[in-house]
Structure 1
Amino acid sequence: MQAKKTISAILSGTLLMGVPMYATMTSAVAATTAADNLTASKRLNALLVNTKSMTANFKQTTKGGKQASGNFSGTMAVQRPSKFRWQTTKPSDQLVVTSGSKLWIYDKDLEQATSQSVNNQVGNTPALLLSGDPSKISNNFKIAQPYGDKNYYVLTPKSKSANFRNMSISFNGGKPVMMVLNDNLGQTTTIKFNNIKLNPSINSSKFKFTPPKGVDVIRQ
């Protein structure tokens, strides 16, 4: 099932990185040349650190590689520390959600829910980066700002075991508008965001999940 691959993509690190939380730039960038790694890291951290929560709609397209291409859409929400929710509504209903210590993956069509523990620190899994500690990003990624006057960053995992080669993040007016991720299977995933809200109040129930009656539960 094509939609099923959406969940696999999330867990393997070929998806959610494109939903980081951004605040407004603290100062204008005058230079047009590429920023050095330290400067790029500080600028990206400055964008992230002041945003405590975010909600948005998304449209995702995956192309290339040996797997079938696909188009997906849905909604997302993140809240620091360590909370995120990513729900695909089309072409099928799937949910990935965590309140910090346990991550649930729910496939409504398959009537199956998978539970696993997660590390609440920023790691090589893009999904965890969304709600983790911004100051730890540089520990796990090499950060580049190819054009000093553009709000565009490229992150490359330092770990050789990461499941993606690199990702780029573009944002406008302090809000993320697009992310492009290149994985190790030759696939390119593009995620575009709209209806973005920064620092909204999000009910804690949004990040909790109880398997519906009759659902097959797998614990890992």
Structure 2
Amino acid sequence: MTKNMMKAVLGSTLMGAVLFSAPILTVTQTANAAATDNLNAAEKLSPLLSGVKSMTANFTQTTQGAGARNGNFSGTMSVQRPNQFRWQTASPAEQLIVANGDTLWVYDKDLKQATKQNVDRQVGNTPALLLSGDPKRIAENFKVTQPNTSRNYFELYPKSSNANFQKLGISFNSGKPVRMVLIDSLGQTTSIRFSNVRLNGNISASKFSFTPPEGVDVINQ
């Protein structure tokens, strides 16, 4: 795979894991019992997410699926409520996504390019904001299921027509998020595994701020 191809994969999978804007495929739910299960699952998930007031971790990310340029990426991440996150890929190319609650930046070091966007505060639109937004709004923004009640694994189906994923799975171990699996509107699967997870430590505000270096092209969206 050439460097340009790797950068194309990196950009698409990072944004696929962190920010979405295109319509999702329709997900159907049936029967009143499913609605009850959805409420119970959301009530179980909410305190697990509430326990994550801040989080730092290493991550590895893999994307697979028909038509996808499969790729493996690694880096570090930080999230902190409300609505602050940092997602930094170190290998195979350097890219940074950072949000301070109001503004989201995507910075590509090799291209010397930074894209500036407004952050959507609705937790239903971004998996990253699932870990940094308001846990009390889970049932409002997602249909939630717990396939096996003996495991802290949950599947979330976004209600928003602006989300670009069909399903998001999240697993917890000892109260820590350890894995997220995303199926996008094209049926491609992105799997993210977290390691060296640290919860509820102090994270400097500077982690969630970004100033484009001199000479970088800035694109406003």
Is the contact between residue 76 and residue 87 of structure 2 (CA under 8 Å) also seen in structure 1?
yes
Alignment match, 1:15 = 17
Is the contact between residue 75 and residue 88 of structure 1 (CA under 8 Å) also seen in structure 2?
yes
Alignment pair present for 1:157 and 2:170 = no
Query: After superposition, where does 1:70-81 map in structure 2 within 5 Å?
Result: 70-81=71-82
Query: After superposition, where does 1:19-168 map in structure 2 within 5 Å?
Result: 36-168=37-169
Is the contact between residue 146 and residue 152 of structure 1 (CA under 8 Å) also seen in structure 2?
yes
Q: Percent identity?
A: 58
Is the contact between residue 144 and residue 156 of structure 2 (CA under 8 Å) also seen in structure 1?
yes
Superposition RMSD in Å: 1.6
Alignment match, 1:197 = 198
Is the contact between residue 10 and residue 127 of structure 1 (CA under 8 Å) also seen in structure 2?
no
Is the contact between residue 124 and residue 142 of structure 2 (CA under 8 Å) also seen in structure 1?
no
Deviation, 1:195, is: 0.3
2:44 maps to amino acid: R
Alignment match, 1:170 = 171
Q: Once structures 1 and 2 are overlaid, which stretch shifts more, 173-182 or 196-205?
A: 173-182
Equivalent position to 2:8, from 4, 10, 16:
4
Deviation, 1:172, is: 1.2
Aligned length: 201
1:7 maps to amino acid: G
Three-state SS of the structure 2 residue aligned to 1:36 is: helix
Name the structure where helix makes up a greater proportion of residues.
2
Q: Whole-Å Cα distance in 1 between the matches of residues 196 and 218 of structure 2?
A: 33
Is the contact between residue 57 and residue 73 of structure 1 (CA under 8 Å) also seen in structure 2?
yes
1:131 maps to amino acid: S
Q: Whole-Å Cα distance in 1 between the matches of residues 120 and 79 of structure 2?
A: 16
Structure 1 residues 39 and 156 mapped into 2: Cα distance closer, same or farther (>3 Å)?
same
Q: Whole-Å Cα distance in 1 between the matches of residues 85 and 155 of structure 2?
A: 22
Q: Whole-Å Cα distance in 2 between the matches of residues 151 and 10 of structure 1?
A: 25
Is the contact between residue 52 and residue 79 of structure 1 (CA under 8 Å) also seen in structure 2?
yes
Is the contact between residue 105 and residue 115 of structure 1 (CA under 8 Å) also seen in structure 2?
yes
Q: When the two structures are superposed, what TM-score results if normalisation uses the length of structure 2?
A: 0.86
CA displacement 1:70-117 (0-9 Å, x = unmatched): 000000000001100000000011000011100000000100001011
Gaps of 5+ in 2: 20-35
1:5 maps to amino acid: V
Deviation, 1:181, is: 1.0
Deviation, 1:185, is: 1.3
Q: Whole-Å Cα distance in 2 between the matches of residues 129 and 173 of structure 1?
A: 18
Deviation, 1:160, is: 3.5
Deviation, 1:125, is: 2.2
